[in-house]
A and B are shown apart, each in its own frame.
Chain A
Amino acid sequence: MTTTTLAGHEFHINDEGFLTVPAEWTEELGAALAAQIGISMTDAHWDVVRLLREDFAETGETATLRRISHRSGAPVKQLFTLFPQKPAKKMAYVAGLPKPHGCV
């Protein structure tokens, strides 16, 4: 497994760049990961990312957009604004989680 260092954090990643050990993630690293893909984190971004972490801790799976929208009350449209183009994957990347497996 490849390791890499960003903002002083060393962590494991897969061949696409997603973290493979969720426990290696911190919010500081999350902000640095977001910056890598051109996102500067706001409170609204953090609400989503923290919820994604929480949901993963409970279920062991990365939540899909629909699930995040339901749980957070944030409309799907807003998720597309916060994490443009590919919201589900971008959120998962910033939150240090695997890509969601669900189709919907």
Chain B
Amino acid sequence: MTTTASAAAAPAVVPSFNDPESEGRKLAIICSKGNLDMAYPALILANAALGEGVETHLFFTFWGFDMITKDTMADLKFTMLGNTATHMPQGLGGLPGMTGLATSKLKKAIAELDVPEVPEFLDQIVASGGHLWACRMSADMNHLTMDDLYDEVEDIISASDFIEKTNGAQLLFI
């Protein structure tokens, strides 16, 4: 189809960047795991949602706290133990040094795709407008305060506060 240019002319198709149906869309992601391989799905999906203009909130709870605790966030690990999807004999995973080896292999594979490490990924999520929240109970259990957490965490809040903040959001539990 050919249209002619004039003040009112538009190309036959303009991408629907401002689809009214997705207006006000919100996504809540609950991060409850501290393994390297369980951190990435949340980070990648949060980043993708933000890039689509979706208001995104992450709530870090239980082991997910490791993703935002300054002492651990750059040092998450991947283990073969209990993970049959590695298709390796489970006994191998228990040998000394195997978790370190598996972690460094996974980190390398991720870096090769130009995907950042956890702290830098969180920087990017925050720069894209994402909101990071820490779970009150997890903070209390581990005796951690805001000083122990990644600087861009907005606050330590209760589970009910998070549910309230994400009213109407789609929710992912990871």
Q: Which of A6, A64, A89 contacts B11 (CB 8 A)?
A: A6
How many chain-A residues does the 8 Å CB contact rule pick out?
Answer: 36
Enumerate B1-54 residues with CB–CB distance to A below 8 Å.
1-5, 9-18, 44, 47-48, 51-53
Given A4-B2, A8-B5, A76-B128: A15 in contact with B52 (beta carbons within 8 A):
no
Q: Which of B1, B2, B15 contacts A93 (CB 8 A)?
A: B15
Chain A residues within an 8 Å CB radius of B113:
102, 104
Q: Is there a chain B Cβ closer than 8 Å to A10's Cβ?
A: yes
Given A5-B3, A10-B2, A75-B127: A17 in contact with B44 (beta carbons within 8 A):
no
Chain A residues within an 8 Å CB radius of B16:
16
Bound CA–CA A80/B5 (angstroms): 30
How many chain-B residues does the 8 Å CB contact rule pick out?
Answer: 30
Chain A residues within an 8 Å CB radius of B10:
6, 36
Interface residues of B, Cβ cutoff 8 Å to A: 1-5, 9-18, 44, 47-48, 51-53, 113-116, 121, 124, 127-129
Please, could you name 9 A-B residue pairs with CB atoms under 8 Å apart, sorted by A?
A: A4-B13, A6-B5, A13-B12, A16-B16, A64-B114, A90-B17, A93-B15, A104-B113, A104-B115
Interface residues of A, Cβ cutoff 8 Å to B: 2-8, 10, 13, 15-18, 33, 36-38, 64-67, 75-77, 80, 84-90, 93, 102-104
Instruction: Pick the 8 closest A-B CB pairs, nearest first.
Output: A85-B53, A17-B13, A76-B127, A4-B11, A4-B12, A77-B127, A17-B15, A104-B115
